[in-house]
Amino acid sequence: MTRRRWIADEVTGNTAALVGEHAAHLARVLRAEVGQEFDIATGEEVRRGTITTISYDRIEFALGAKQHLRLRSAAPKITLALAIFKFDRMEWAIEKCTEIGVARIIPVISRRTDAHLASAAVKRRERWQRIVRQASEQSRRSAPPEIVAPVKLKDLEGDGVVAADAPRVVLAESLAGSGGDARLGAILESHLPVVATGDEVTLAVGPEGGWADGELSWFYEAGWVAASLGDTILRAETAAIVATALAIETLR
């Protein structure tokens, strides 16, 4: 039987711990008991962990043997620059993109982001970090993706938020029959060497209604390449999930 995996909040030598709400979920909801064994991701490796002490805000594990993970092909580093939109749907996209394997998520305040969502986004970051940690544990990742502090579009390339010398693709609304945007898969195939060099590929997904015209001009002037996911207009969360899955499978 596959053991459940937890990502440790603290690691010291051969001891690891879950703290706060993370520990409370295992203690109260899952009714953990001393002696139970789980896989514990320490940030560097995954080891077998045996519960030694339990309280409602802290669970400690004695770390045992390193777990030999099934070898997988190297996963490309995908950064998702996701325009902020209605939180419940955006958080569903964050959860599913984490399960798929995204490496980094940048919430972006776009022109079409509602003002109250933009103002609430900074405080929402802590919740998003919990979501990606839980999704990472559920999908048996060794570490959650990074959630960057929300940025305005004009600051997306400032202070190394995204790598200016790595591939950057903006998903524009489909221009069916106009000979417009190239398909995302075809664009990604031209960047296959990024896996070998360790570069990140950044995908920018707009809000409902897509990026505003002025925003698309900004992307083009900054050297981003426009791409389409097909001849239909997708909701923002659908586009984020499809684009992330396509990028990882194409570049793997």
Count CA atoms within 13 Å of residue 226 on its CB side.
17
Please tell me whether residues 59 and 96 are part of one structural domain: no
150 within domain boundaries: yes
Residue 213 is classified by DSSP as H
Q: Give the integer Cα–Cα distance in Å for 215 and 133.
A: 31
As to burial, measured by CB atoms within 10 angstroms (0-12 exposed, 13-18 middle, 19+ buried), residue 154 is: exposed
Q: Give the integer Cα–Cα distance in Å for 46 and 49.
A: 9
Whether the pLDDT of residue 118 is over 80: the answer is yes
234: domain CATH number?
3.40.1280.10
Mean pLDDT over each residue of the chain, to the nearest integer: 87
- pLDDT tens per residue across span 212-252: 889 999 999 999 999 988 888 889 999 999 999 999 998 88
Whether the pLDDT of residue 60 is over 90: the answer is yes
Higher confidence at residue 47 or residue 198?
47
Examine the fold and report which residue of 66, 87, 114 is the final residue of a domain before the chain moves on: 66
Which phi and psi angles does 104 have, rounded to 5°? Answer: -155, 140
Binned at pLDDT 50, 70 and 90, residue 35 comes out as very high
105 within domain boundaries: yes
- pLDDT tens per residue across span 174-221: 443 334 568 898 888 887 776 666 678 999 999 988 898 899 999 999
Range of the domain at 47: 5-66
H or E element, residue 3: none
Please tell me whether residues 59 and 84 are part of one structural domain: no
Higher confidence at residue 124 or residue 71?
124
Q: Give the integer Cα–Cα distance in Å for 196 and 103.
A: 16
- Residue type at 181 in one-letter notation: D
71 within domain boundaries: no
CB atoms within 10 A of CB 136: 22
CB atoms within 10 A of CB 178: 7
Examine the fold and report which residue of 36, 66, 96 is the final residue of a domain before the chain moves on: 66
Please tell me whether residues 37 and 160 are part of one structural domain: no
Whether the pLDDT of residue 22 is over 60: the answer is yes
Q: Give the integer Cα–Cα distance in Å for 147 and 193.
A: 26
**What is the model's pLDDT at position 196?**
63
User: Dihedral through CA 240, CA 243, CA 247, CA 250, nearest 10?
Assistant: 150
The total number of structural domains that make up the chain: 2
Candidate from 1-10, 69-78, 81-90, 204-213 with smallest mean pLDDT:
69-78
Mean pLDDT of 111-128: 94
**Strand pairing partners for 47?**
40, 66
**What is the model's pLDDT at position 200?**
85
| Pair 23, 55: CB distance under 8 Å | yes
72 within domain boundaries: no
Helices (H), the chain: 20-24, 87-100, 115-138, 184-189, 194-197, 213-221, 236-251
Please tell me whether residues 147 and 55 are part of one structural domain: no
Beta strands at 46-55 and 151-152: parallel, antiparallel or unpaired: unpaired
Candidate from 34-43, 72-81, 178-187 with smallest mean pLDDT:
178-187
**What is the model's pLDDT at position 177?**
35
Whether the pLDDT of residue 76 is over 60: the answer is yes
Does the CA dihedral 62-68-70-76 come out positive or negative?
positive
Cβ neighbours of residue 223 under 8 Å, at least 6 residues apart? 164, 168
**What is the model's pLDDT at position 174?**
45
- pLDDT tens per residue across span 120-155: 999 999 999 999 999 999 998 888 999 999 999 999
> Considering the chain, what percentage of its residues have pLDDT values greater than 90?
58
